[in-house]
Copies of this chain bind each other. A is one copy, B any other.
């Protein structure tokens, strides 16, 4: 296996216990360290020059860089980069019914393949090494992931109206790709949302998930209107529906979940679920904000998410991290809420918890997977450097990502892609735009209830 020494960087290290709002200390930034990578894993982190250099070890000079874990994007629709900027300044039901769902009816598997490549390339440049993706034509997404060298949890989105046969097809996808790309790909079930599936279909999803031993990735309680609709139609909240249908018996990613009730939060605290937060989407759509602090106080994992670029415009978790800090302080009317320590917890360890990889991702420590991002710290906006962690949250941006490793393999070096062909991707995407942007009256993949 290849040995690689990352020389003389600063390293973000987390304390043993996770930081909550209640005054926990900053994660430590150890200055002047070497990181030894052996195969897919970190073997050692120690002051620079102190790790003996074995023969045939490649050296990566990293002086002045800050090494951080690759981020986990806990909820995305990667190929939706194809629709970036198409639907702006419109309310959610119009966004779905008049734009996105009609447009998605245009997509071919090959469109999704190139959309996935574009989105994966953007995420790699932004220091993301793991994505939980929720879309369709997922074989093409899996192929793009394999080529990109990133990790992914892939769920083929399915609506209730598509029926049990379609669900079985998504299970065939799971079986084709589970453990694929040298173990970098895992696959889960992806029922779209309680409001687009209903309880019977969810019950079937839960049973099949248990039978084949996978988790479920689903949109939950995104808006207060969705919760009200569920209460009106079924007498229970969307989270209660997930409980009653057995979905919560398997590991679950909740996309968004801005409106859990106190009883919902009790349920969530007792089950293996985690919550994905994409505040840029929420602000932009006027949806409100999630109860991030409360969820974390109850021990429910919270991670960052990009959602799709048709709502979020960028696949940038550094932007989401900063917005999480800013919006939670705003919501609490308190500058002391969502400290630098806590938001760094969410951004790195929280993401790994949501995708249930807290044991080997989300931290840079010996024995863990070598998913490592090197950030430049020399921009003027990060000068001076009294508190490197403050700069990391409030000054450094995704454009400061210089180098990205995933599973010990270099994907990006000095912002040059080593696994994907950026110019080819742009050409392929641009060649498809005219066709993709046509909206055929009456043709859409689903209907958003209003």
A residues with CB within 8 A of B: 81-82, 84-86, 88-92, 95, 118, 121-122, 125-126, 280, 282-286, 288-289, 309, 313-316, 323, 325-327, 329-330, 332-337, 339-340, 380-381, 383-387, 390-391, 394-395, 397, 399, 422, 426, 429-430, 433, 437
Chain B residues with Cβ below 8 Å from A339 are 88-89
Please list the 4 inter-chain residue pairs (A to B) with the smallest Cβ-Cβ separation, ordered nearest first.
Answer: A313-B394, A283-B326, A85-B390, A122-B380
B387 adjacent to A86 (CB under 8 Å): yes
Residue in B90, B316, B334 whose beta carbon sits within 8 Å of that of A336 in the complex: B90
B381 adjacent to A122 (CB under 8 Å): yes
| A126 to B379 alpha-carbon distance, docked (Å) | 12
Q: A314-B381, A335-B95, A383-B118 in contact; A283/B327 too (CB < 8 A)?
A: yes
CB distance from A124 to the nearest CB of B (A): 9
Chain B residues with Cβ below 8 Å from A118 are 380, 383
Chain B residues with Cβ below 8 Å from A426 are 380, 383
Having A314-B394, A383-B429, one finds 6 other A-B pairs with CB under 8 Å, namely A85-B391, A91-B336, A118-B380, A286-B330, A384-B429, A384-B430
Chain B residues with Cβ below 8 Å from A91 are 334-336
Chain B residues with Cβ below 8 Å from A95 are 335
CB distance from A416 to the nearest CB of B (A): 13
Q: Tell me how many chains of this kind the complex includes.
A: 2
CB distance from A34 to the nearest CB of B (A): 24
CB distance from A142 to the nearest CB of B (A): 21
CB distance from A311 to the nearest CB of B (A): 9
A316 adjacent to B380 (CB under 8 Å): no
A329 adjacent to B283 (CB under 8 Å): yes
Chain B residues with Cβ below 8 Å from A289 are 330
| A384 to B284 alpha-carbon distance, docked (Å) | 20
Q: A122-B380, A326-B284, A422-B380 in contact; A85/B385 too (CB < 8 A)?
A: yes
| A118 to B313 alpha-carbon distance, docked (Å) | 31
CB distance from A419 to the nearest CB of B (A): 14
B385 adjacent to A280 (CB under 8 Å): no
Q: A125-B380, A397-B397 in contact; A386/B283 too (CB < 8 A)?
A: no
| A90 to B334 alpha-carbon distance, docked (Å) | 9
| A332 to B283 alpha-carbon distance, docked (Å) | 10
CB distance from A354 to the nearest CB of B (A): 23
| A321 to B157 alpha-carbon distance, docked (Å) | 34
| A284 to B314 alpha-carbon distance, docked (Å) | 22
A84 adjacent to B383 (CB under 8 Å): yes
Chain B residues with Cβ below 8 Å from A84 are 383-384, 386, 391, 395
B285 adjacent to A335 (CB under 8 Å): yes
A394 adjacent to B286 (CB under 8 Å): no
Greatest chain B CB density within 10 A among A86, A280, A335, A397 is at: A335
CB closest residue in chain B, given A383: B426
Greatest chain B CB density within 10 A among A89, A329, A333, A426 is at: A89
Supply 13 A–B pairs (Cβ within 8 Å), ascending by A: A84-B391, A84-B395, A88-B340, A88-B394, A90-B335, A118-B383, A126-B381, A283-B327, A284-B394, A285-B335, A313-B394, A380-B422, A386-B433
Chain B residues with Cβ below 8 Å from A288 are 330, 333
Chain B residues with Cβ below 8 Å from A394 are 85, 88, 284, 313-314
| A280 to B397 alpha-carbon distance, docked (Å) | 15
A337 adjacent to B286 (CB under 8 Å): yes
| A332 to B335 alpha-carbon distance, docked (Å) | 22
| A315 to B379 alpha-carbon distance, docked (Å) | 12
A286 adjacent to B332 (CB under 8 Å): yes
| A327 to B330 alpha-carbon distance, docked (Å) | 10
Greatest chain B CB density within 10 A among A125, A327, A339, A386 is at: A386
CB closest residue in chain B, given A82: B384
| A429 to B378 alpha-carbon distance, docked (Å) | 13
A437 adjacent to B334 (CB under 8 Å): no
Chain B residues with Cβ below 8 Å from A383 are 81, 84, 118, 426, 429-430
CB closest residue in chain B, given A395: B313
CB distance from A141 to the nearest CB of B (A): 17
